[in-house]
């Protein structure tokens, strides 16, 4: 059975490959992560979701609206599913996001939930040493560790690779799907995702609106990059879209 250290070494080799293939710089010191419980990371992601994130649309478009529906969310089937067996979550949180989100916590009316959020953000702040921190849900079963953790770390560390090279569309006020789609495309470049329309056609009806959005965004990146044959061409195409 593979251990986590072996998985991490393989992930780092994949990151080095992406850095080479896309003309990016790989800085080993940029890659770390911190485990939260499934509930903790879901509380954070619920508050931080983009305004047009289809996953949480029934609970509000803005953080303020979602705060008003926090207890409704915690009693929902979505919450149960996302904290259940087999579910894994991750995100990259920037220092700016940490400060912005902490400033919203006073709006939580339920004192117990407000205290829980305050303790969560204090824990995150304690471990954020640089410009960002990768947060992962702690695997609760061996199945989650084997099938979900390696994928999750790679996905979030590709975000770090891009951000470490100044490629972060949301920070430029652009659509968050550009970031997620590019990461999904790069996962497919490593053969960790499937983007071939023939292969994914039968899965469309089974995908959530969120995952359909990611797949569509990744396909747009494929259209932009599939005919770029060198690292320089790939990087220039990405930067051109970033600078539009």
Residue 61 counted as domain residue: yes
pLDDT at 205 over 60: no
Q: Tell me how many domains the chain contains.
A: 1
Q: Residue 178's closest CA among 186, 188, 168, 165?
A: 168
Per the structure, the complete domain to which residue 89 belongs is given by 27-144
List of residues 6+ apart from 154 with CB closer than 8 A:
11, 14, 15, 187, 190, 192
Contact between residue 43 and residue 117 where contact means Cβ atoms under 8 Å apart? yes
pLDDT in tens, 48-95: 998 888 889 999 999 999 999 999 999 999 999 999 888 889 999 999
Residue 78 counted as domain residue: yes
Residue 124 counted as domain residue: yes
Q: Residue 161's closest CA among 123, 187, 136?
A: 187
pLDDT in tens, 162-176: 999 999 999 999 999
- Reported as a pLDDT band with limits 50, 70 and 90, residue 206 is very low
E strands present in 89-143: 90-94, 132-137
pLDDT at res. 203? 43
Contact between residue 190 and residue 18 where contact means Cβ atoms under 8 Å apart? yes
Residue 176 counted as domain residue: no
Distance CA 71, CA 164 (A): 36
């Amino acid at each position: 059975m593979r251990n986590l250290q072996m998985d991490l070494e393989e992930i780092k080799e994949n990151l080095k490959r992406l850095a080479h293939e896309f003309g990016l710089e790989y800085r080993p010191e940029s890659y770390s992560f911190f485990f939260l419980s499934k509930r903790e990371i879901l509380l954070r992601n619920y508050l931080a979701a983009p305004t047009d994130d289809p996953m949480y649309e029934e609970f509000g478009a803005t953080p303020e609206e979602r705060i008003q529906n926090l207890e409704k969310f915690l009693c929902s089937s979505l919450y149960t599913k996302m904290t259940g067996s087999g579910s894994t979550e991750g995100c990259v949180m920037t220092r700016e996001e940490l400060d912005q989100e902490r400033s919203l916590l006073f709006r939580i009316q339920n004192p117990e939930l407000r205290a829980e959020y305050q303790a969560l953000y204090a824990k995150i702040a304690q471990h954020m040493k640089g410009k960002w921190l990768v947060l992962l849900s702690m695997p609760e079963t061996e199945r989650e560790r084997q099938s979900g953790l390696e994928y999750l770390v790679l996905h979030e560390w590709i975000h770090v690779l891009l951000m470490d090279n100044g490629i972060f569309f949301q920070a430029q006020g652009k659509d968050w799907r550009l970031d997620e789609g590019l990461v999904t495309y790069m996962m497919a470049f490593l053969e960790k995702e499937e983007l071939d329309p023939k292969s994914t056609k039968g899965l469309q009806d089974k995908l959530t609106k969120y995952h359909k959005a990611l797949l569509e965004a990744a396909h747009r990146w494929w259209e932009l990059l599939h005919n770029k044959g060198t690292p320089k061409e790939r990087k220039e195409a990405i930067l051109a879209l970033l600078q539009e």
